[in-house]
Amino acid sequence: MASEAVRQRDESRGRILIAEDDASTREGLATLLRGEGFEIDLAEDGEQALARLQETAPDVLVTDLHMPGLDGLQLLERSREVLPDLVVVLVTAFADVDTAVQAMQKGAEHYLTKPVQLDELLVVIDRALERRRLQQEATELRARLKDRLSFDNIVGTSPAMQAVFDVIEQVAPTKASVLITGESGTGKELAAQAIHQNSPRAKAPFVKLHCAALAETILESELFGHEKGAFTGAVGRREGRFKQADGGTLFLDEIGEISPSIQVKLLRFLQERTFERVGGNETVKVDVRIIAATNRNLEAEVASGKFREDLFYRLNVVNIEMPPLRARPSDLLPLATHFVQRFAKENGKHIDGFAEDAIERIGAYRWPGNVRELENIMERAVVLCDGRLLTAKHLPAGVGAATRAGVRIPGSTMDEIERHVILSTLEACGGRTGQAAQMLDISVRKIQYKLHEYGIVFQRTTVSKPPES
Ligand SMILES: Nc1ncnc2c1ncn2[C@@H]1O[C@H](COP(=O)(O)OP(=O)(O)OP(=O)(O)O)[C@@H](O)[C@H]1O
Ligand SMILES: [Mg+2]
């Protein structure tokens, strides 16, 4: 019996709160809707309805317009503050166009006149619930994708990295070629993997080739394969990386290093999706998405004639520029924490976090080697650490000894200086506005006001992009 009751509740079509001062209308509606498989909650007036909303978070509110105290329109407005995606249906005894218009403007789903026709009410409710379900699914999907990228492997809560995630999210489902640029150690390869992982090709191979590591002739046969006898030592036909990556993604690292003749062959592939093996004339067709990376300035290479302009444009359909670590100080602690946790686990140690002096030194350093350098230094620190906190003495002497990148004072405006001081203090406090306010001897409200003005949203230790307006 108990399981039957549970089963029935699981199959409920949704929870409806009925706000109606007239007892017989209220009970009548409740009986009808219960009979249709909804869970029903009742309120005798607006105030009571508001209290019930907070307690039971229904999916739908069916409210009378004229009630003592809080009327239907006021209740509609207040309920939006509590449950932004609540479906609201207003019911009134007298059809009155002005009120109807007002109700719709305030976001009521529908406006019905008494006596309520059950069929009409059900259609309104079902349609609204279905639309809401689709919206929620879409939101969850977006949130899941973002979580995976920002927490699974690429750590980055700074606005700059959030923007990178947005591009990855947009470009991943397509077949567009992507050129990932950025300094060494900024996560170019990680970004390439994320694009592949989030693409429809995720189950097919992700093949990478480091173009700078190989001599020209070897590189060509590595990429395209070769026929038997193509060169001394080519004892049989061999397939290349293009063929291996068929159906998947080919990641060409250090693309700036490839010779003019390979540039031509690659261009032809991007135009026609075909190539020939070295020493052969059979045309091979494969379905491969190209992602290329370089820490060189390819535009400059194009300008100086070292890199073909047409190839550059074919590769650079979408460009992702990985920001250097020094340009996103708010990512420092989340990244350092991520690495410490990983290495502590690998080394069987328990480390709770960082001492203040370590945080200060990490924040003051310029990180020329970017995330890779941070990763290495955290590994070393974990190995040296014998307590539960990483302190400054576990860091190499050079870290944090360099001067902090500051705002150039002469010629700066007071606003620029204020902005710099507020943001760097917040960053040093891990985004805790209370602590930053205390250090700066200003109110928390002032900090929040300024952040709003700068269009930055600090959420404790994370920073995210302001919502689209
Ligand atoms: N945002 C990040 N979150 C977590 N780990 C990161 C992040 N960025 C980089 N790393 C780590 O830092 C190291 C360097 O990253 P990666 O190899 O992707 O950089 P790269 O830009 O390709 O560098 P290079 O130009 O030297 O080849 C890797 O171990 C990678 O896992
Ligand atoms: Mg790399």
Query: What CATH number has the domain spanning 2-134?
Result: 3.40.50.2300
Residue count of the chain, please give it. Answer: 469
Portions of the chain given CATH number 1.10.8.60: 326-394
Portions of the chain given CATH number 3.40.50.300: 156-323
Residue with tokens 């909303």: 53
Q: Return the structure tokens found at 137.
A: 């699914």
At residue 143, the pLDDT reads 62
Q: How many CB atoms lie within 10 A of CB 39?
A: 17
Is the beta carbon of 424 within 6 A of some atom in ligand 1? no
User: How does 75-114 read in b/e, with b if 16+ C-beta sit within 10 Å?
Assistant: bbeebeeeeeebbbbbbbeeeeeebbeebeeeebbbbbbe
Closest ligand 1 atom to 156 CA: 1
Q: Which residues surround ligand 2, an ion (CB under 5 A)?
A: 189
Assigned architecture for domain 156-323: 3-Layer(aba) Sandwich (3.40)
Alpha helix (H) residue ranges in 12-71: 23-35, 46-56
At residue 320, the pLDDT reads 95
CA atoms of 305 and 223, how far apart (whole Å): 23
In this structure, the residue with its CA closest to atom 15 of ligand 1 is 187
Q: How many CB atoms lie within 10 A of CB 280?
A: 16
Helix (H, G, I), strand (E, B) or coil at 40: strand
Ligand 1 pocket, mutate which of 150, 152, 181, 189 (most atoms under 8 A from CB): 189
Closest ligand 1 atom to 374 CA: 12
Q: How many CB atoms lie within 10 A of CB 384?
A: 12
Is the beta carbon of 155 within 6 A of some atom in ligand 1? yes
Instruction: Kindly give the confidence (pLDDT) of every residue in the chain, 469 residues in length, as a single tens digit, with 9 standing for 90 and above.
Output: 344 433 344 467 889 999 999 999 999 999 999 999 999 999 999 999 999 998 888 999 999 998 888 999 999 999 988 888 888 999 887 777 778 788 888 878 788 888 888 888 999 898 888 888 887 777 776 666 555 444 458 999 888 898 899 899 899 999 999 999 999 999 999 999 999 999 999 999 999 999 988 888 899 999 999 999 888 888 889 999 999 999 999 999 999 999 999 999 999 999 999 999 999 999 999 999 999 999 999 999 999 999 999 999 999 999 999 999 988 988 999 999 999 999 999 999 999 999 988 998 998 888 999 999 999 999 999 999 999 999 999 999 888 854 444 444 555 567 777 887 888 888 777 778 888 888 888 888 888 888 888 776 654 433 333 334 3
Q: Distance from the CA of 180 to the center of ligand 2, in angstroms?
A: 10
Portions of the chain given CATH number 1.10.10: 414-464
Assigned architecture for domain 326-394: Orthogonal Bundle (1.10)
In this structure, the residue with its CA closest to atom 13 of ligand 1 is 372
Beta-ladder partners of 161: none
Q: Distance from the CA of 369 to the center of ligand 2, in angstroms?
A: 12
Is the beta carbon of 294 within 6 A of some atom in ligand 1? no
Ligand 1 pocket, mutate which of 371, 374, 376, 377 (most atoms under 8 A from CB): 371
Q: Distance from the CA of 293 to the center of ligand 2, in angstroms?
A: 7
Q: Distance from the CA of 200 to the center of ligand 1, in angstroms?
A: 24
Residue with tokens 């690495």: 339
Helix (H, G, I), strand (E, B) or coil at 213: helix
Q: Distance from the CA of 253 to the center of ligand 2, in angstroms?
A: 6
At residue 258, the pLDDT reads 94
Helix (H, G, I), strand (E, B) or coil at 284: strand
Cα three-residue angle 99-101-102, rounded to 5 degrees:
60
| Model pTM score | 0.60
Is the beta carbon of 186 within 6 A of some atom in ligand 1? yes
Assigned fold of 414-464: Arc Repressor Mutant, subunit A (1.10.10)
